[in-house]
């Protein structure tokens, strides 16, 4: 499965070089969300279960939207978000061409 989210190595390298010990495991959280999305789209999952999984994914999305509103804004944030959006567009175009 292609990495549709943020670059995983970023989180590992940040932890190694910054020396900060997080109280959470973001890589594990992202993997769990990817697993849910995969299961939702699986042909082995019936519609009732898939709909429940999709509802769970919406709950995560809405919770993240609310939590991000409460976070401070950082100086490099706008540039970083623009860069991530450009990477997403490039991935979409590459997928469309293939």
In a domain, 2, yes or no: no
Q: Which residues of the chain have pLDDT under 50?
A: 1-5
pLDDT at 97: 79
Instruction: Tell which residue, 52, 55, 11, 51, has the closest CA to residue 31.
Output: 11
Domain range enclosing 79: 8-97
- Specify the pTM: 0.69
Query: Which single residue is written with the structure tokens 């997080």?
Result: 22
- Give the number of domains in the chain: 1
* Nearest-angstrom CA–CA distance, 92 and 96: 6
- 32: Cβ contacts below 8 Å, ≥ 6 apart: none
pLDDT at 22: 74
Interval 79-93: pLDDT, tens: 999 999 999 999 999
pLDDT at 25: 87
In a domain, 50, yes or no: yes
In a domain, 3, yes or no: no
Q: Alpha helix locations (H) across the chain?
A: 8-18, 26-41, 47-70, 77-97
In a domain, 1, yes or no: no
């Amino acid at each position: 499965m292609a990495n549709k989210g943020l670059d995983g190595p970023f989180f590992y390298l940040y932890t190694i070089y910054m020396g900060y010990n997080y109280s959470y495991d973001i890589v594990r959280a992202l993997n769990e969300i990817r697993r849910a999305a995969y299961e939702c789209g699986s042909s082995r999952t019936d519609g009732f279960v898939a709909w429940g999984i999709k509802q769970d994914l919406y709950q995560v999305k809405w919770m993240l939207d609310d939590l991000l509103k409460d976070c401070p804004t950082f100086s490099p944030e706008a540039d970083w978000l623009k860069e991530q959006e450009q990477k997403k567009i490039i991935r979409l175009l590459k997928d469309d061409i293939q």
